[in-house]
Structure 1
Amino acid sequence: MKRIIPSLILLGAISACNNPQKKEMEPIKWPDAKAPVAEIIPHKRSIHGDTVVDNYYWMIDYFKKGADSTRVVDYLKAENKYLEEMMKSTDAFQADLFKEMKGRIKEKDESVPSFKNGYYYYSRTEDGKQYFKYCRKKGSLTAPEEVLLDVDEMAKGHSYFSATGFKVSPDNKLLAFGVDKVSRRQYTIQVKNLETGEIYKDAITNTEGPGAWANDNKTLFYTSKNPVTLLSEKIKKHTLGADAKTDVVVYDEKDNTNYIGVGKSKNGKYIFVASQGTLTSEYKMIDADRPQDAFKVFAARSKDVLYDVMPVDGKFLILTNWKAKNFRLMECPLDKTEKENWKEVIPHRTDVLLESAQEFKDYTVLSERKNGLTELRVLKKSGGDYYIKFDEPAYDAGVGANPEYDSKNLRYSYTSLTTPSSVYDYDLEKKTQKLMKQQEVVGGYNPKDYVTERIFATAKDGTKIPVALVYKKGFEKNGQSPLLLYGYGSYGSNSDVYFSSVRLSLLDRGFVFAIANIRGGQEMGRQWYEDGKLMKKKNTFTDFIAAGEYLIDQKYTSKGHLYANGGSAGGLLMGAVVNLAPDLWNGVIADVPFVDVVNTMLDESIPLTTNEFDEWGNPKKKDAYEYMKSYSPYENVEKKAYPNMLVTTGLHDSQVQYFEPAKWVAKLRAMKTDQNVLFLKTNMEFGHGGASGRFDYLKEEALGYAFFFKLEGITK
């Protein structure tokens, strides 16, 4: 529901004159357009002896297919029209920004090929095309190319199109893949014969996409979704040529707080069904040669125990938090997999979070996080270990695509706020590495023209909050420069730094960009996450405010020049901080924001709600309800001044339904006492992640940047 969206060559001479090193800015001139006023239709919510009147509850009707569906769509369109009228003076600037951002992207490009089962697989893009072609070559990169899927062709005629989850059968003859044409993440699985080019009639609807092929090359396991709640409820088994309606359910998840999925082990010997929530996980498995067998439990689920399983020669490796808050690595025999048989390999450490493990025949590569930064640790089967370390003050490194089990080569990725995304191949025996590809910035880019820092703000309880920054060389800490602060802080998802060629349009016009690693993420260890969820969720918001205040105190910016951005659960963050500290920000963009927390968590028919109870709490419990209500942005809108705000959503969003931001904007518009602007942008054709084409999303980026630039008095 509230997933991460996760979610900015020309400018050499221009940037100097547009860097707003001035104490006073000219008043912003906005058109005299009339903002939409949403109709008030009171709806009472009564629970735990508490009654709340929700004047905009009717906006749920498009989702519920209710009587007010047309009224909802009309309101959203009116808000879009108001935004267009108010931002019309920036139309040419937005077009220039789009052209500028697109101009930095290498249109004809190719991913680094990865080798699996005799073939090199890669994707490539072409000039002017929005999508890609998924390809392979047999045995050698000089072999003839096979285009497995031409997604550019497949996407023709669709306003949204996503093809994903490519799974090639063990005999290399079949390709299973998922297609979403609506942006609801409800994938239809299709199968293509790679020898004849035929797309089979086996269309399996309402899935998470292909999961795993059995070794018989005709049995496909996949995750089936509830069509209303979108919960991943069942694992099914499909036999090629059979009617999907007859597919056998091999696993039915009874705990609706868990997500489930199915996949194949790297060594190709097992098929695993994983059931995992925020606090508990369980694996079931079968021999990939015996798809007719019943799945058996690897280790029974137990409260607050998470684990992950990797088979290697003669044993299983287990990554787990069992009696180890920051996780440890264990192992067990192939035929004795319950917890009492687990033996410790790498112990728990209070100052190091063990995030993941990648198994190879002769090596295991661990991703470890210390002081918020990642290190890669190599364990040799023959004994001993060593680290692959990195030296920038803030960076992100991670294990990449390594599908081949019997390999002595590790592929990893690396990026920072100034280093473009890079792919390396590392020889695990020789300890040497080769740069395979680095993101090319068309038109030229010199990392030495930019400076990155990592500083620590102090939260209200004394906790040190990491903040990473980047700015154009020549920046002066005088409090007059604009600064955009980004945050997320939920689900234990890490907000690591990354390079963005789009962001250069911000930096080259004098902005500082910063990322705050607030609690609720997992950057500083598992406790960092636990201190920013459930009944400690407010730490996430006060940490972000503390980061903003520290940046002002250190004269990176000032109140009149400080901006904020976050999406999805980061949009909840935006809603909370504008309620708690509205005068701190000059402008805020909340993308697909999860802001109607109480009402959504009370309605289990809304997609993914029950999966979220371990993150936010279940408001049917009085203490959780009262705490949730005390910070939910929609519940806490007051008659006071708010900053300039742009709120975005998608009519078909499956993660955060459109009515949350729509209701929030309507209530803000009715209650705020300021003259600042408030905009709602609804993408009427897309969902949570926005447009599917590789260039279309830049129009949304251009709008957001133009909004910030307008507030800052930057006009070109």
Structure 2
Amino acid sequence: MTAHDAQGAASTLPPIASRNPASRTHHGDTFDDPYEWFRAKEDEAVIAHLEAENAYTESRTEHLSGLRERIFDEIKGRTLETDLSVPSRHGEWWYYGRTVEGKQYGIQCRAPLASPDDWTPPELSPDVEVPGEQVLLDGNVEADGHEFFSLGSFEVSNDGRLMLWGVDVAGDERYTVRVRDLTTGEQLADVIEGTFAGAGFSPDGRFIVYSTVDDAWRPDTVWLHELGTPVADDAKLFHEPDERYWVGAGFTRSDRYLVIGLGSSITSEEWLLDADDLRGEPRVVWPRREGVEYESHHAVVDDEDVLYIVHNDGALDFEMVRVAASAPSGPRAVVIAHEQGRRLLGMSTFRDWGVVAYRRGGLPRLGLLSYSSGDVRELAFDEPLYSVGTGGNPEWAPPLLRIGYGSFTTPGTVYDYDIATGELLLRKRQPVLGGYEPSDYAQERVWATAQDGTQIPISLVWKRSFGDAGAAPRPVHLYGYGSYEHSIEPGFSVARLSALDRGVVFAVAHVRGGGEMGRQWYEDGKMLHKRNTFTDFVDCALHLIDNGFTSPGLLVAEGGSAGGLLMGAVANLAPELFAGILADVPFVDALTTILDPSLPLTVIEWDEWGDPLHDADVYAYMKSYSPYENVRSDVAYPRILAVTSLNDTRVLYVEPAKWVARLREVGADALLKCEMVAGHGGVSGRYNAWRERAFELAWLLDVLGLADA
């Protein structure tokens, strides 16, 4: 089979994989799977095939090398490469990060407080020396000699004396934890290998709490390591044998308890350990009940230890109650009652007040909770579309709340909210070089009508100089996800400007299966309702076409991971609507994966997709939409680019590799790009990530006919 690129460059032959006989039979149905042999990751033939795919993709996109370099230079040119984050107070220090021009990774630093009453973060400048600065961890030094580097744990003990950090140099999300004495610079003998992300110190700094995974890459065990003792002697604090549950642990902000949390997609359970008796017996907060999710947060109210619990027991969009920490299964005082359409997301407790996160009207919200009255004071923002959340608040009794804010047009912004006055104090806005003006761009939300009459929100952002969106058909980049109740928030992207400045309208289809419009939005896009996710995306594309925003020849779709499943499904459902489809780490062989409980994450995923191994109806339903099984020979597919990583443990490389091979059988113009040293998040290092995104955007612009723009 011969493939031609859109610019008419010389023909080149794509790799043609051999078809090796293989099949699987379930519920009386046999499926022939001639490319299942790709799963043998250590097989030289598999590696050779992936390398051949990479070579083919490079040859097919060689004409875009100049555009890729221009986009990379644009991203780089808009980024203040040498910069500092806003310091966050913890104990007697201000903690912050540095980036340095020419270096891939961040540098973690700290500087001493001016006084114990110092709550105003110092304004740092890259060209001004910070008095008393200590460099804690230089990611560039740690990454030296490695093609991949990821920091999965980083913490300094409460007394500021010890630091732990966990590093993954393969992309498989297995971290080696080490400890350094910050007073002497000495690295301690404690080395813990094979941990999951999120290791941390106990409040007194004597112990490290960490988790490990089972053979299916599921965090299943929480451990206690006493510094200075052999790792082999570490105490097992908790083990969860049920393969549906992930386990993690962390200390309350008050340092009163260690909370061991476990959860499936639909059920959760928490256990408490007194922080001053970590070798004691944990006690359950609420025993698990199928379908009940909750999370608890410690506070002290009227000198009593209490737990604020956000839960969905009889409350679809969740409610908040308060219980005694000594008897959490006892009487519940309702603090925030359930309200349909206001989805409570979580809670953060501080000594004197709490912060509630929730969604209403398709947007995230923050509210300040009074412990005494139960009243919630919502923080107000001017833009019609925005994203907001808390972050960088380790202290138990601060007078300020650190929040992050942004929108499609407003770069990432750090505020401190003054609890006493209600004033938002601007600490920093992400610098965007090259004369960026937010007013040059516009954002709005429109609504598409789904096949069943449901109104689906679509967020849009574009550059005003090209005219109003919808005034004439324009190139549109339509993004979607729609799984796990994950919401795609209105957020700023430097890289996206390279497309907007060439006339592209960026759009997000907030399809069912996500969490944008509340818990029912999620329920209506999972399990045996999963097809709503796919048809919603198609209906959003039709809305944009029918209302003059774009045309099929000017529309490119993108999604990653579970959003990559969405891409594969819509490619089969409505290939005629799209000029191109970009699928990042796509979950396109979903049925094969969910049928095999030995594969990473499969069993826990049954609550999201259903259990096709034991349920014939689920099997038939999943087979009806799984992209790999439903590649069609009776349609012309749009151009397709699938991007994956060899060491991805969440969506294995084999899925897009098989999908592309099957697409080639029916004459589709499909490309596969496989990072040979990377994980689910792609390559590591900011410059590498910019080049990766430049590659994808150049391909996207080429599909839209804008390669020369």
Question: Does the TM-score normalized on the shorter chain lie above 0.5?
Answer: yes
Deviation sequence 1:630-668 (CA, Å, 0-9, x none): 110011111131100110000111110000000000011
Matching residue of 1:280: 267
Which of 323, 326, 337 in structure 2 is aligned with 1:332? 323
Moved more, 195-204 or 520-529: 195-204
Q: 1:564 to 1:341 in 2, by over 3 A?
A: same
Matching residue of 1:366: 356
Matching residue of 2:687: 695
Counterpart check, 1:629 vs 2:608: no
Counterpart check, 1:157 vs 2:145: yes
Q: 1:281 to 1:27 in 2, by over 3 A?
A: closer
Q: Is the 8 A contact 2:479 2:509 kept in 1?
A: yes
Q: Is the 8 A contact 1:135 1:145 kept in 2?
A: yes
Aligned residue pair count? 681
Which of 484, 487, 499 in structure 2 is aligned with 1:506? 499
Q: SS state of the match for residue 416, structure 2?
A: strand
Tell me the distance in 2 between the aligned counterparts of 1:285 and 1:304. 21
Matching residue of 1:378: 368
Deviation sequence 1:539-563 (CA, Å, 0-9, x none): 0000111111001111111011011
Letter aligned with residue 258 of structure 2: I
Higher relative contact order (CA 8 A, sep 6+): 1
Q: SS state of the match for residue 539, structure 1?
A: helix
Tell me the distance in 1 between the aligned counterparts of 2:68 and 2:137. 34
Deviation sequence 1:438-490 (CA, Å, 0-9, x none): 01011220011111111111111110111110111132535432100000000
Q: Is the 8 A contact 2:237 2:279 kept in 1?
A: no
Q: Is the 8 A contact 1:28 1:711 kept in 2?
A: no
Measure how far apart 1:317 and its partner are: 0.8
Tell me the distance in 2 between the aligned counterparts of 1:210 and 1:415. 26
Letter aligned with residue 154 of structure 1: E
Letter aligned with residue 631 of structure 2: V
Q: Is the 8 A contact 1:219 1:291 kept in 2?
A: no
Counterpart check, 1:351 vs 2:351: no
Counterpart check, 1:644 vs 2:639: yes
Tell me the distance in 2 between the aligned counterparts of 1:626 and 1:194. 58
Matching residue of 1:597: 590
Tell me the distance in 1 between the aligned counterparts of 2:606 and 2:656. 21
Which of 107, 114, 135 in structure 2 is aligned with 1:147? 135
Tell me the distance in 1 between the aligned counterparts of 2:250 and 2:6. 57
Matching residue of 1:52: 31
Letter aligned with residue 317 of structure 2: N
Moved more, 267-276 or 212-221: 212-221
Matching residue of 1:3: none
User: How do 1:158-557 residues align onto structure 2 when only pairs under 5 Å count?
Assistant: 158-226=146-214, 228-313=215-300, 314=304, 315-338=306-329, 340-383=330-373, 384-474=375-465, 475-476=467-468, 477-557=470-550
Q: SS state of the match for residue 189, structure 2?
A: coil
Tell me the distance in 2 between the aligned counterparts of 1:216 and 1:567. 41
Gaps of 5+ in 2: 115-121, 123-129
Q: Is the 8 A contact 1:189 1:203 kept in 2?
A: yes
Matching residue of 1:682: 674
Tell me the distance in 2 between the aligned counterparts of 1:282 and 1:216. 26
Measure how far apart 1:30 and its partner are: 3.7
Moved over 6 A (4+): none
Letter aligned with residue 304 of structure 1: G
Q: Is the 8 A contact 2:90 2:158 kept in 1?
A: no
Moved more, 272-281 or 210-219: 210-219
Measure how far apart 1:309 and its partner are: 0.8
Q: SS state of the match for residue 696, structure 1?
A: helix
Deviation sequence 1:557-603 (CA, Å, 0-9, x none): 10110110000000000000000001000011000000111111111
Measure how far apart 1:210 and its partner are: 4.3
Q: Is the 8 A contact 1:362 1:382 kept in 2?
A: no
Q: Is the 8 A contact 1:264 1:270 kept in 2?
A: yes
Measure how far apart 1:138 and its partner are: 2.1
Which of 589, 593, 599 in structure 2 is aligned with 1:606? 599
Q: SS state of the match for residue 171, structure 1?
A: coil
Tell me the distance in 2 between the aligned counterparts of 1:373 and 1:216. 39
Q: Is the 8 A contact 2:318 2:338 kept in 1?
A: yes
Tell me the distance in 1 between the aligned counterparts of 2:586 and 2:420. 47
Q: 1:645 to 1:479 in 2, by over 3 A?
A: farther
Matching residue of 1:574: 567
Deviation sequence 1:159-217 (CA, Å, 0-9, x none): 11112321222322111121000011111111111111122222111111343322342
Gaps of 5+ in 1: 1-25
Q: Is the 8 A contact 1:182 1:652 kept in 2?
A: yes
How high is the sequence identity, in percent, across the aligned residues?
42
Q: Is the 8 A contact 1:478 1:557 kept in 2?
A: no
Tell me the distance in 2 between the aligned counterparts of 1:386 and 1:216. 35
Tell me the distance in 2 between the aligned counterparts of 1:385 and 1:616. 36
Tell me the distance in 1 between the aligned counterparts of 2:321 and 2:473. 53
Tell me the distance in 2 between the aligned counterparts of 1:498 and 1:31. 40
Deviation sequence 1:363-405 (CA, Å, 0-9, x none): 1111121110122211223434321122322111112221111
Measure how far apart 1:143 and its partner are: 4.5
Tell me the distance in 2 between the aligned counterparts of 1:245 and 1:609. 30
Letter aligned with residue 34 of structure 1: L
Tell me the distance in 1 between the aligned counterparts of 2:612 and 2:72. 43
Counterpart check, 1:100 vs 2:83: no
Counterpart check, 1:619 vs 2:612: yes
Q: Is the 8 A contact 2:555 2:704 kept in 1?
A: no
Matching residue of 1:127: 101
Tell me the distance in 1 between the aligned counterparts of 2:86 and 2:382. 24
Tell me the distance in 2 between the aligned counterparts of 1:601 and 1:485. 28
Q: SS state of the match for residue 658, structure 2?
A: helix
Tell me the distance in 1 between the aligned counterparts of 2:657 and 2:683. 19
Measure how far apart 1:27 and its partner are: 6.6
Matching residue of 1:13: none
Q: Is the 8 A contact 1:210 1:222 kept in 2?
A: yes
Q: SS state of the match for residue 40, structure 2?
A: helix
Q: Is the 8 A contact 1:180 1:188 kept in 2?
A: yes
Deviation sequence 1:6-55 (CA, Å, 0-9, x none): xxxxxxxxxxxxxxxxxxxx974243011111110020101101111001
Matching residue of 1:669: 664
Report the RMSD for the aligned CA atoms in angstroms. Answer: 1.4
Matching residue of 1:558: 551
Matching residue of 1:19: none
